[in-house]
Amino acid sequence: MIDIKDNDIIDSIKRGNVSDFTLLIDKYKNRAFSLLRRMLKDEMEAEDVLQESFIKAYYALPGFQYKSKFSTWFYRIVYNSALTKLASKKRNIEKGMSSLEEELNLTYIDTSDDDKELKVWINKMIEQLPAKYSAVINFFYNDDLSCEEIGEVMGTSVSNVKVILHRARTALKDMMIKNKSTEEIL
């Protein structure tokens, strides 16, 4: 399969080949869905917001000016759409949890046979973080965005991204330490 650059796809769409938008959808749907699922903590809502984000991106595409990568521009749409969804529900993201173990339904995970189980467990921990923290961790580690790109997506400074990333790592570490099954994994 030929790796077509995003800008070439966008140029094609702008020339009237609207069906080429499916190439962008196929390229970004999984990562965007992962981000939304972590932020919204609900698969159905994540699917709805993902669809809305692609629709917004499609209609805004004629105004795309190539000042940043398409992925950065699109993730900003996704991120802002998630924040809008969260605000509309007036959810308290940092709600107290009665029991982390009950929330995650975790028992001891034996990682000696397979690191995949550890990754699943860590991802479940990340999903429990506040939306902003899980978004930054997802952008940085899963999408390999730089702090500058994350700043563009989130509409904030690079130094603020670094602070959020540090706080997210600390919160994740604290959460993992508090969970008694972590002691057995570590």
For residue 162, pLDDT beyond 80 = yes
Distance CA 66, CA 41 (A): 32
Question: How does pLDDT run across 74-109, given as a tens digit for each residue?
Answer: 999 999 999 988 877 643 333 332 233 333 343 333
User: For the chain, what is the mean pLDDT?
Assistant: 80
The crossing angle, in degrees rounded to 10, of helices 70-89 and 147-154 is 50
Exposed/middle/buried for residue 43 (C-beta within 10 Å: 0-12, 13-18, 19+): exposed
Q: What is the pLDDT of residue 106?
A: 36
pTM of the entire predicted model: 0.61
pLDDT digits (tens, 9 = 90+) for 125-155: 888 889 899 899 888 888 888 899 999 999 9
pLDDT tens per residue, range 3-36: 789 999 999 999 999 999 999 999 999 999 999 9
